[in-house]
Amino acid sequence: MSIITTNHDTHAPIPAITDETFEAEVIQSQVPVLVAFSAEWCAPCRLMHSVLSELAVALRDQLRIVTVDVDQDPVHAGQLGVRGMPTLFLFHDGKSLAQKAGAAPKAVVRRWIEDTIGKA
How would you write 65-93 as a 3-class SS string? EEEEECCCCCHHHHHCCCCCCCEEEEEEC
Helix (H, G, I), strand (E, B) or coil at 16: strand
Catalytic residue among 26, 33, 45, 70: 45
> Would residue 45 show up in a list of annotated catalytic residues for this protein?
yes
> Would residue 56 show up in a list of annotated catalytic residues for this protein?
no
Catalytic residue among 14, 36, 42, 56: 42
CA atoms of 88 and 67, how far apart (whole Å)? 9
Percent helix, percent strand, percent coil in the chain, to nearest 5: 35, 20, 45
Residue positions annotated with a catalytic role: 42, 45
